[in-house]
Amino acid sequence: MGKVLEEIDEKLAAWIERQHLFFVATAPLAEDGHVNVSPKGDLRWFRILGPLEVGYLDFVGSGAETIAHARENGRIVVMFCAFDGPPRIVRLHGRASVKLPEDPGFEELAARFDPPEHAVRSVIRVEVERVADSCGYGVPLMEFTGKRSQYDQWVDKKARDGGFDDYIAEKNAASIDGLPAI
């Protein structure tokens, strides 16, 4: 059965660090705005920064909904599901903030993640307000067989071809609802 926890303790932190995937959900304030859910598939870039604080590296991608929504209203939920082992779902509800590379304090915060050389767009930091645990009985058992290589290949090509500035200007300037992002 589900329960609300006071914080991310050592036992929960260890469970989170064993997962292969997490999801991030955000939404704009407008009632006709689009809710966004993004899979994040590499826990190397996720950190528990404190008992009620987490963060993750945000990479250049085809959209910037999380950044736009975080800047507009900060509402966010980060969800982990156990796809192997005992069933479990953990949701971290909170307020997100965005640190871009040009922002004061970015380098210090990003260094906690040992970032790769290319494609880091921002650090998303979450002040966790609610830690909720639920059964996860409906989550299927799945076997993790590895990471996909396409994104790293795309990043390498972009870096060789002159970087990400034009791509970010075209794809990441605003959300699909027109909210400012990067």
Domain boundaries, the chain: 3-171
Q: Are residues 120 and 42 in contact, defined by beta-carbon separation less than 8 angstroms?
A: no
pLDDT at 129: 98
CA–CA separation, 171 and 182 (whole Å):
9
105, HSE (Cβ side, Cα atoms, 13 Å): 6
pLDDT at 1 over 80: no
20 pLDDT above the threshold of 80: yes
Mean predicted confidence (pLDDT) in 47-62: 96
- Predicted pLDDT at 25: 98
Looking at residue 73, its pLDDT comes to 98
Architecture of domain 3-171: Roll (2.30)
User: DSSP labels for 115-169?
Assistant: --SS-EEEEEEEEEEEEEEE--TTSPP-------SHHHHHHHHHHHTT-SHHHHH
- Is it the case that residue 75 has pLDDT exceeding 80? yes
Given a cut of 70, is residue 52 above it in pLDDT?
yes
Q: Is the pLDDT confidence value at 112 over 90? A: yes
State residue 79's pLDDT score: 98
Average pLDDT, stretch 26-40?
Answer: 97
C-alpha 73/C-alpha 142 separation (Å) is: 35
